[in-house]
Amino acid sequence: MRIGIDARLNAYRQGGIAQYTQQLLKHMVGQLGSDRLVVLQHRRQAQPLVNGAHVRRARLLTPPHNRFEAVALPLELLPQRLNILHCPDFVAPRIRPCPAVVTIHDLAFLRFPEILDADAKRYYSQVRASAHAAQAVIAVSQSTCNDIVELLDLPAERIDVVYEAAAPHFRPLQIAPNAERIINGVPVRANTFLLFVSTIEPRKNLATLLRALHLCRERHPAAGYRLVIAGVRGWLDGPIFDLMRDLGLGEAVDLLGWPAPEDLVWLYAACRIYLNPSLYEGFGLPVLEALACGAPTVVADTSSLPEVAGEAARCVPALDVAAWAEVISQLWDDADARQQLAERGPRQAARFSWEQAAHETLAIYRRVGGFSPAKPD
């Protein structure tokens, strides 16, 4: 069987879907047996995403999300002689030379349509038709599966839930008390900060966290609460920065931008508490990364977050400022409670594996293509 995986987006982005595609490819190579993997990359990406005896790269001209890709991409796929096409970026071409599998990571664009500009609306308007026309649909959580059933009217029996996982480099670190690290020019001292990791935009609900931080500082001004934000500015973020100014939090918040991979691991391992108040996540990979690093973790009780965190995190109503302030102040002062959460985190994260995700995804390809599991050469 010749399996094509559309990895064109990896030439333009690093996180999210690109990381999902990269990890699937990496962990699929050793499980191919006699199957062949064709990695469909954009020409602007000079290096192959993965290498292997049964792997080859096809360099395509059509950019991802291009308005002409519905015509151009099928033409470029014809010479590849694929048996299966996997499109990890929500949409498979309507005209295609083989059966297709699509991955739907979330339906945030339906829950929060204001996040889309005109080009994004054009692209994501295809998701419903693409899901119904695909031979298989992968959801990255049961929560996303439920959303697909509800919002796209796709029967649950047509959806496979295949969980993502934290990359292997996310793990606990031995960090000396009061160790300090300079990250993007900002000094950060271990065990003295709350951590928020995300693009700064309304769906991530940073406003509730800022109000809770303000409340904590008003009640306990000597506690030294600080918030480190690891993430770049996103859309509609102006009111969030206005709120930060209005609450007088400028000296209590460090804005790091996006940290290097090794710095992000350090932040998770060194934070006093990791906080994810998001209103909606399809999976919530930063939660699993934080748990894998042993960060005491608090998440909103929304969408997939409780599903991913399990019993290893505290769950709080997303918009309840008083509840967030209460759990922050309680955990900040309770080293034993933080230690209990820190011990649960890596065990919960270990339940999710990219090896397993690759194995389950290959099984879907073989089912859709009508192929028996391939034996190793």
The 10s digit of each residue's pLDDT in 188-238 is 999 999 999 988 888 899 999 999 999 999 999 999 999 999 988 877 778
Q: Is residue 49 within 8 Å of residue 7, measured between CB atoms?
A: yes
Q: Is residue 143 within 8 Å of residue 303, measured between CB atoms?
A: yes
**Amino acid, res. 315:** C
The reported pLDDT for the residue numbered 61 is 96
The reported pLDDT for the residue numbered 120 is 85
Average pLDDT over residues 306-326: 97
Average pLDDT over residues 299-322: 97
Q: Is residue 243 within 8 Å of residue 207, measured between CB atoms?
A: yes
Lowest mean pLDDT among 89-98, 108-117, 182-191: 108-117
- Mark residue 310 as left, alpha or beta (left: phi above 0; alpha: psi -120 to 50; beta: remaining): left
Average pLDDT over residues 105-115: 89
The reported pLDDT for the residue numbered 373 is 56
Q: Which of 324, 308, 325 is nearest to 316 (CA)?
A: 324
State pLDDT tens for residues 250-270.
899 999 998 999 999 999 999
The reported pLDDT for the residue numbered 339 is 97
Q: Where are the beta strands (DSSP E) in the chain?
A: 2-6, 36-42, 55-60, 84-87, 100-104, 136-139, 159-161, 180-183, 186-189, 194-197, 227-230, 253-257, 273-276, 297-300, 314-316
372 pLDDT exceeds 80? no
Q: List the end-to-end C-alpha distance of the chain, in Å, as a whole number.
A: 14
Handedness of CA 315, 320, 326, 328 (dihedral sign): positive
The reported pLDDT for the residue numbered 199 is 83
Q: How many CB atoms lie within 10 A of CB 94?
A: 13
Crossing angle of helices 206-219 and 238-246, in 10° steps, is: 10
State pLDDT tens for residues 8-26.
999 998 778 999 999 999 9
Query: CATH 3.40.50.2000 region(s) of the chain?
Result: 2-165+353-369, 180-349
CB under 8 A, 24+ apart: contacts of 314-321: 314/341, 316/277, 318/205, 318/208, 318/277, 318/278, 318/279, 319/205, 319/208, 319/279, 320/208, 321/208, 321/211, 321/212, 321/215
Q: Could you tell me what percentage of the chain is helix, strand and coil, using 3-state DSSP and rounding each to the nearest 5?
A: 45, 20, 40
The percentage of residues in the chain with a pLDDT greater than 70, rounded to a whole number, is 98
Q: How many CB atoms lie within 10 A of CB 72?
A: 16
Q: 336: exposed, middle or buried (C-beta count within 10 Å: 0-12, 13-18, 19+)?
A: exposed
The reported pLDDT for the residue numbered 253 is 96
139 pLDDT exceeds 70? yes
Fold of 180-349: Rossmann fold (3.40.50)
As a whole number of angstroms, the distance between CA 223 and CA 272 comes to 13
As a whole number of angstroms, the distance between CA 192 and CA 179 comes to 10
Task: Say what the pTM is.
Answer: 0.90
The percentage of residues in the chain with a pLDDT greater than 90, rounded to a whole number, is 86
CATH superfamily of 2-165+353-369: Glycogen Phosphorylase B; (3.40.50.2000)
Q: Is residue 346 within 8 Å of residue 294, measured between CB atoms?
A: yes
Kindly report the average pLDDT of the chain as a whole number. Answer: 94
Lowest mean pLDDT among 150-154, 249-253, 364-368: 249-253
376 pLDDT exceeds 50? no
**CA-to-CA dists, residue 274 to 128, 163, 194, 295, 301, angstroms:** 35, 22, 6, 6, 15
**Amino acid, res. 122:** R
As a whole number of angstroms, the distance between CA 38 and CA 61 comes to 15
Q: Concatenate the DSSP letters of all residues of 14-67 into one string.
A: -STHHHHHHHHHHHHGGG-TT-EEEEEEETT--S-S---TTEEEEEESSPTT-T
The reported pLDDT for the residue numbered 69 is 93
117 pLDDT exceeds 70? yes
